[in-house]
Structure 1
Amino acid sequence: MCILFIALDIYPEHPVIICANRDEFHVRPTEPAHFWPPENHLLAGKDLQAGGSWLGVNKHGQIAALTNIRAPELQQSDKRSRGELVLKALDEPSTMTANWLREQSHFYNPFNLLFGKGNELYCYHSLNGEVQRLSPGFHAISNGALDDIWPKMAKGTQALEKQLSSTGNIDIDALLAIMTDQSQAEDAELPQTGIALEWERQLSSIYIKHPEYGTRSTSIIIQDHQGNTEFVEVRYDGKGRNLGRQSFKMPAS
């Protein structure tokens, strides 16, 4: 997962709205979002290479989502798969997850992990080991820290705020459109994250279209005050073609 936009306690009937893009190598085998057997208590996509996930929700209404922190100098090939972190966060209460992350995050390459339930959402940033509770409002998480002022983070946040304030209904298609914006930032606005300028440009758009690495899927999560969840996923190939759309309803229990 490479970018998340969150509207928390903004929309009266739906306090949690999350728009997320997963960016990954197109050759990495992936299973679309589904209810995981045998208990079917977890709804998430599955990374078939390492067995974890990048985004999911469970039957209790808990949410977890992962983003990579772009720090190439810190990447190590012998670290554990970060996809495990999503499954861990969906398997226990948030307080336990926070403590576990502080003790175990050094076994993983740098990451942000969004986790929690309802309006109690938290972001763990592995570079400083801090857990930050999200305040009511709009937030973005990408490949730096929570609410960093990167061009695509600011652009998506503003677009989400405008969309939610302009209509009385949540328009799923309009939210998906925000997440397919391919416009790139000007060079002077690009963050400097230790990668080549060509890739800084390529990765500066909300939706990344590239034959080798790019946006594989967009997910929209909408929750009401009871924790009932609507989950929409659209998948794409390396040419930006739509590979399918699916919608799920997950009542809280």
Structure 2
Amino acid sequence: MCILFIALNQHPEYPLIVCANRDEFHHRPTEPAHLWQPDNELLAGKDLEAGGTWLGINKAGAFSALTNLRDPMRQKSNMRSRGELVIKALQQKPLTMSWLREHSDNYNPFNLIFGHGDELYCFNSAVNEFTRLTSGFHSISNGALDDIWPKMARGTLALEKLITESTQPDIDELITIMRDETRADDLELPQTGIGVEWERLLSSIFIRHEEYGTRSTSIILQDKRGKSRFAEVRYDGKGRNLGRQVFTVEPTQP
């Protein structure tokens, strides 16, 4: 996952609204979002290379997503797959803060967002710290929570404008926000150690590149009763639509 925008307690009917893009190499095998066997409790896409996922919800109404922290100097090849953390966060026996602090060194640097209802947390493994998300608009990409990267600021403002002006959030309009290919000016680019050409490519919300780019957009609308609508659109290396799915998940007792 590369970027998420979250509106928490900003709409009278939908206290949790999530818009997210997953950026990845196009050759990496992936299954679209689906209910995972054997118990159908987890709704998420699946990374077929490592077996994890980047974003999902469960039938109790919990949500989790993960972004990689962009720090080339701290990347190691023998680490566990970060995608398993989202699964752990959505299991019936969820992650504890102490477990994350104790085991985060087994993974390359990451942000993990997880929680239930309006009690969402972001764990940043680089600083080994938790932040509870306050009511408002938040953005998470490949740096710290609510960093002011140009694409993070751009998407946050677009989401805020749409939510405050809409009585009923429209999934197509939310997807349009996530299809924004506007790149930042060079003077506004973050310095994350990957070189200016890659910084330019990755500076837009939607990344179009034949080898690496936005593979999917996910939209989650969770209402006051915990009922969730989950939409996923998938793309190829030219940014073309490969398919769309919309799920409705009724809440069960955790």
TM-score by length of 2: 0.98
Alignment of 1:72-91 (within 5 A): 72-91=72-91
2:219 is equivalent to residue 220 of structure 1: yes
Local SS of the residue matching 1:157: helix
2:172 is equivalent to residue 173 of structure 1: yes
2:144 aligns with 145
Local SS of the residue matching 1:238: coil
2:67 is equivalent to residue 67 of structure 1: yes
Runs of 4 or more off by more than 3 Å in structure 1?
none
Alignment of 1:1-253 (within 5 A): 1-92=1-92, 96-253=95-252
Q: Distance in 2 between matches of 1:237 and 1:126?
A: 31
Q: Kindly provide the CA deviation profile for residues 112-147 of structure 1, in whole angstroms up to 9, marking residues without a partner as x.
A: 000000100100000011111000000000000000
C-alpha contact 1:214 1:238 (8 A) present in aligned 2: yes
Cα drift, residue 97 of structure 1: 2.7
Q: Distance in 1 between matches of 2:219 and 2:42?
A: 16
Identity %: 65
Amino acid at match of 2:217: T
Alignment CA distance shift 1:18-1:81 (3 Å): same
Q: Distance in 2 between matches of 1:75 and 1:234?
A: 29
C-alpha contact 1:21 1:179 (8 A) present in aligned 2: yes
Structure 2 unpaired stretches of 5+? none
Cα drift, residue 92 of structure 1: 4.3
Q: CA RMSD in A?
A: 0.8
Q: Distance in 1 between matches of 2:92 and 2:172?
A: 33
Amino acid at match of 1:185: A
Q: Distance in 1 between matches of 2:153 and 2:92?
A: 32
Q: Distance in 2 between matches of 1:90 and 1:152?
A: 28
Alignment CA distance shift 1:159-1:93 (3 Å): farther
TM-score by length of 1: 0.98
C-alpha contact 1:88 1:97 (8 A) present in aligned 2: no
Local SS of the residue matching 2:15: strand
Cα drift, residue 99 of structure 1: 1.8
Q: Kindly provide the CA deviation profile for residues 55-84 of structure 1, in whole angstroms up to 9, marking residues without a partner as x.
A: 000010010100000000100000000000
How many residues align? The count is: 252
